Amino acid sequence: MNKMVSIVTPFYNEADGIDLYFESLLPLLEKMEYDYEVVCVDDGSRDTTFAQLEDWNRKDDHIKVIKLSRNFGKEAALTAGLDYCQGDAAIPIDADLQDNPALFPQMIAQWEAGFDVVLMQRKSRDESWFKRSSAKLFYRFINRLSNGGVPENVGDFRLMDRKVINTIRKLNEKSRFMKGLLSWPGFKTTTIVYDRPNRAVGTPKQSLKNLFKLAFTGIFAFSSFPLRVWTFIGLLITSGSGVFAIFLVTKKFLYNAAPPGYLSLMVVLLFLNGMLMINQGLIGEYISRIFDEVKARPIYVVDQIRKSKADDE
Ligand code: UDP
Ligand code: MG
């Protein structure tokens, strides 16, 4: 029996791009000497995405469609796709063809060479200066905090062996930062560098607000450093104010100079209260995430499934 490769793609309002997606993907897959399936997750699209995916599912029995009950976001949609894929390896790729399917053979070759994870690293980011530099800053920050767990300029586009998929499926936390979760299992990893183009059609479906939310999830879900840092800040302030107190008392007794009260008190008061509020906010971030975990709601809800050939075997 041939090994099977699963291509996993989340779709959210991608009606304009679906035909192009399958037309560029399927010929490449047919040429390979592997079994394959394309797992399409419709993340609650409001346009004709699901109807079009159904059409493709009828035309080609390699295509499986999972329709979620509403929009759960890309991270959840990708999770659904990994849960429902059956391949010996999976490759998540975006519907907008920013991840080049022509690289599949190269990725699979590395898998055959014994690597469990093949990371695809973007050489150039053909995106706005703002998106590029904010991404750079974010990776530097999160890697400093989480001990280098998130490779820079590597997206969800990668190949994962079944071992890795099964490990990721056990990570059922609700606060999902896929790049971190996908990298968490480790295993034998190699990296291929490639050029990432702009979106083929349509507009980005992830708003800037969502990307920021995701960045925060990344930080808070993968590091407790922001919580711990306050211990050090507290220690610093306490010892600092101790020294200041000694200074003031000495001044009083040696020179009989009383410190000017109002201004200095005001500054210290406002400063410390500000710090306390920031700290409260930070703790709040973690508590809200703990709250989400404790509620233990499902990460996504499936509405309908259109099976592929692999489901009948
Ligand atoms: N996507 C999704 N749910 C969403 C937003 C996006 O499934 O709520 C999908 C989208 O259809 C695409 C992929 O996630 O296949 C990446 O989206 P996009 O190109 O907008 O994001 P970016 O390239 O900026 O990461
Ligand atoms: Mg995109």
pLDDT of 29 over the 80 cut: yes
**DSSP letter, residue 44:** S
Rounded Cα distance between 155 and 179, Å, is 6
**DSSP letter, residue 174:** S
pLDDT in tens, 208-224: 777 777 777 777 777 77
Q: Which of 305, 307, 313 is nearest to 60 (CA)?
A: 307
Rounded Cα distance between 55 and 104, Å, is 25
CA–centroid distance, residue 260 to ligand 1 (Å): 58
CA–centroid distance, residue 277 to ligand 2 (Å): 37
The per-residue pLDDT for 263 is 67
Rounded Cα distance between 87 and 287, Å, is 37
The per-residue pLDDT for 267 is 72
CA–centroid distance, residue 155 to ligand 2 (Å): 10
Pocket test for ligand 1, best of 41, 94, 212 (most atoms within 8 A of CB): 94
Overall average pLDDT of the 15-39 stretch? 89
pLDDT in tens, 124-183: 656 677 777 877 777 777 777 665 567 777 788 889 999 999 988 888 877 777 777 777
- All residues at 6 or more sequence positions from 288 whose CB lies less than 8 Å from its CB, including other chains: none
| Ligand 1 binding pocket includes 73 (Cβ within 6 Å) | yes
Q: Which residues pair with 306 in a beta bridge?
A: 65
C-beta of residue 65 within 8 angstroms of C-beta of residue 302? no
pLDDT in tens, 190-209: 888 887 766 656 666 667 77
| Ligand 1 binding pocket includes 42 (Cβ within 6 Å) | no
Token pair of 29 as six digits: 């897959």
Strands 4-11 and 89-92: parallel
| Ligand 1 binding pocket includes 204 (Cβ within 6 Å) | yes
| Ligand 1 binding pocket includes 206 (Cβ within 6 Å) | yes
Rounded to a whole number of angstroms, the CA Rg of the chain reads 25
CA–centroid distance, residue 295 to ligand 1 (Å): 26
Half-sphere exposure of 273 (CA within 13 A, CB side): 6
CA–centroid distance, residue 204 to ligand 2 (Å): 6
pLDDT in tens, 91-105: 999 988 888 888 888
| Ligand 1 binding pocket includes 205 (Cβ within 6 Å) | yes
pLDDT averaged over every residue in the chain: 83
**DSSP letter, residue 22:** H
The total of other beta-carbon atoms located within 10 Å of residue 74's CB is 22
Q: Of the segments 96-100, 112-116, 236-240, 293-297, which one has the largest average pLDDT value?
A: 112-116
Q: What percent of the chain has pLDDT over 90?
A: 25
Where are the extended beta strands (E) located within the chain? Answer: 4-11, 35-42, 63-68, 89-92, 117-125, 154-161, 189-196, 302-306
Q: Of the segments 34-38, 218-222, 293-297, which one has the largest average pLDDT value?
A: 34-38
Q: Is 127 helix (H, G, I), strand (E, B) or coil?
A: coil
Overall average pLDDT of the 53-76 stretch? 91
| Ligand 1 binding pocket includes 98 (Cβ within 6 Å) | yes
